[in-house]
Structure 1
Amino acid sequence: MRIVITGASGQLGSELRDLLQDNTEKECYFLDRKQLPLDQIQIIQEILAMYQPDLIIHAGAYTAVDKAEEDQVTANLVNHLACEEIAQYCRLHETKLIAISTDYVFDGTSAVALTEKAATSPINVYGQTKLAGEQAIQKWCPEAIIIRTSWVYSSYGKNFVKTMCRLMTERDEVNVINDQIGSPTYAHDLAVALLKIIDSSEWDAGIYHYSNEGEISWYDFAVAIRDFRSFNCQVKPIPTSAYPTPARRPKYSLLDKSKIKSVFGTEVPDWKISLGNMLAEEFKDN
């Protein structure tokens, strides 16, 4: 099987590379923004044709949530129109597609874990462009699998866990939001789940949710990071209103994972177990 992975230098792309680098059954091509510039939509299909993939894992995205508020054109190119080009390529060439989306397609007003059928209503540009990307994929490549995830972290790249580890070594006290609720996703776990789908005898198209098990706030997450690493740092809970950002965040975006577990037999580790596994790893810079 010949696989193209976009967003190769991102957290998920890097974890997939680690899992697939010694796999002799899969011929994998990891494309970063230099090899596949997602903001140059006019050349995307031409570049994909060079690789003639059997499957595309589209993990590339414009993920600078706050910057997207002012850079709406680029965010739309990367998160929406690039998805449209990739989906059109997949339809024309009968290529399978797995695309990664986000909990930010929801408005955060729910009080229960969100299923794939929950109404979408994004409250920031990032979420709006990601939802438009989902819709373009479903229009042009209805046989695609779309996986929404949340609060992604890894030993690779920039993320909340690595930022907290740095701050807690530099400061005696950190303030962390306690009224945004969801569940983190260890990118390694998501990568394992993707490979299980790829290797499954079934290909059941549609939208799926994946994050680690559990329901926490960012404050709870920070406290666990401190305790795992035994940092001597006080973590103070603050409301979202005390930390204004250009982009609004959903207050509640816990994802219901029942569907992906039922259809593909996916194992979903508890967030604390996965956090411990990640913190046992050596941090990587890319």
Structure 2
Amino acid sequence: MVLSSGNVCPDETAQWQAWLASHPDHRMAWARVEFYTDKFKSLPPQAAFAATEALNAPDLNRRRLLLSMALLGMAGLSSWQVSRGRYWQEWSADQHTALGESKTITLADGSSVVLDSGSAVNVDFSVNLRRLQLVKGEIYIETAADTVGWKRPFVVDTLEGRVQALGTRFSVGQYKNLTQVAVFQDGVEIQPADAISAKQTLVAGQQVQFASSRIESIHRHNQNKPAWTEGFIVADDLPLSEFLLQLSRYRPGYITCAPEIADLRIIGSYPLKDTDRILAFLEANLPVKLSHPLPFWVKVLPR
């Protein structure tokens, strides 16, 4: 939670606590923000507070709140973000993509890497190792035979550990405290950052998530490559809340979901070129409605 980050003065904390205790709806609003989107952790405390108030603010006050948030953004957002290492790492990465953008790069050895929306990666080829560092987002890799005359390992490092290619096509995603890996051809070897954790080999048709000290259960998939590389988001009995979290990676602003409808199931393939159309489709075919408390904010509510 942004307000527990350690960067808030006592007066701000007291103000937030008073607001939180003043009405039960405020607690529900804050819970929605905290649970359904991690994006607010990239805002300064004052902006996060103003955004949360906007959930329940009367219409007459929303323009005033929006103006306050805009002023906060101009005055402090840039310096607040740049001062934290992860933002600098993302913007200074060798390759990165903006929101809604994807990009394909060819590495020195002939391997190709596709960056998903809002991703960042560093490339570090040395005499003995072909290494990618995934800073943010997701990448899809098609490895090529090494061109230097000997076989240098091809690895992807994340915050949680290392993924080594075994002559393969695979994807790696960096999420909060987890790395997700899916294999589409041949195999990979996963080594969590904790040295005492056992390695795990993953083969084509398998996917898994792992943390720095453990590897989760392996699951099957039937894709030839990640759907996002072809401009789609695919849902196979996916909870609505999870679907909206994935969708939010491809559009500016925020999407929040009411707890009452979070477990509605989503099935289908949806083109990412028009995310507004996806939201309109959900509203037309599910017992949900859309609300726009602010221009960059979409709330999905029970109908």
State the TM-score, normalized to the length of structure 1: 0.25
The structure with the largest helix share of the pair is: 1
- Structure having the larger proportion of residues in strand: 2
